[in-house]
């Protein structure tokens, strides 16, 4: 399911950080709360996170970059994550990815200007026997060739 990518609210974000810290939550708990609420961790949160958790900027950014879900920019309403790992490459993932990038005008890791779609690469989804594999709004998709990609994209536009 696509994440909520609502507008950043600094007051609400600060409240979430303090609430997590008071409940004994680690930095990752606060980051999870921010991503669950806003869909991403805004730059404006870095300073307050440093202060709340007595961490350096490098430590906060290190934790954010370590975990795939702690993104620092809003995601699109829909997300397609295309597997780039070897088993899927062997059955056409590179062709599907090239087609997907051309069709959407996005590179992997980019979100469309209208905020409708984020295209990402991912490394193995455990669907290796059914590649090229993808996650489309969190749901697995198998045998995703160019035609199947186009069909799924059209469904998203309905």
Q: Which two tokens stand for residue 15?
A: 């409240």
Nearer to ligand FES, 24 or 126 (CB): 126
Distance CA 95, CA 156 (A): 21
Nearer to ligand FES, 27 or 144 (CB): 144
Distance CA 78, CA 7 (A): 16
Interface of this chain with ligand FES, residues 116 to 135, rule: CB under 6 A? 124-128, 131, 133
Applying CB under 6 A, does 30 fall inside the site for ligand FES?
A: no
Give the shortest CB-143-to-ligand FES separation in angstroms: 11
Asked if 6 contacts 38 with a C-beta cutoff of 8 angstroms, the reply is yes
Q: Exposed, middle or buried by CB within 10 Å (0-12, 13-18, 19+), for 13?
A: buried
Give the shortest CB-137-to-ligand FES separation in angstroms: 17
Nearer to ligand FES, 50 or 87 (CB): 87
Peptide bond into 132 cis (omega under 30): yes
Asked if 141 contacts 130 with a C-beta cutoff of 8 angstroms, the reply is no
Give the shortest CB-82-to-ligand FES separation in angstroms: 9
Give the shortest CB-52-to-ligand FES separation in angstroms: 38
Interface of this chain with ligand FES, residues 39 to 98, rule: CB under 6 A? 83, 85-88
Distance CA 33, CA 21 (A): 11
Give the shortest CB-134-to-ligand FES separation in angstroms: 9
Binding site for ligand FES (CB under 6 A): 83, 85-88, 124-128, 131, 133
């Amino acid at each position: 399911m696509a994440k909520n990518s609502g507008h950043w609210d600094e007051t609400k974000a600060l409240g979430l950080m303090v609430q997590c810290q008071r409940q004994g939550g680690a930095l990752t708990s606060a980051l999870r709360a921010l991503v669950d609420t806003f869909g991403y961790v805004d730059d404006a949160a870095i300073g307050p996170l440093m202060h709340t958790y007595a961490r350096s900027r490098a430590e906060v950014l290190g934790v954010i970059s370590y975990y795939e879900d702690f993104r620092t920019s809003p995601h699109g309403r829909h997300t397609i994550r295309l597997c780039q790992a070897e088993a899927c490459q062997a059955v056409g993932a590179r062709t599907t990815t090239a087609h997907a990038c051309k069709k959407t005008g996005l590179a992997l890791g980019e979100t469309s200007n209208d905020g409708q779609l984020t295209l990402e690469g991912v490394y193995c989804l455990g669907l290796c026997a059914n590649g090229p594999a993808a996650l489309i709004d969190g749901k697995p998709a198998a045998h995703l060739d160019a035609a199947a990609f186009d069909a799924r994209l059209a469904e998203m536009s309905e």
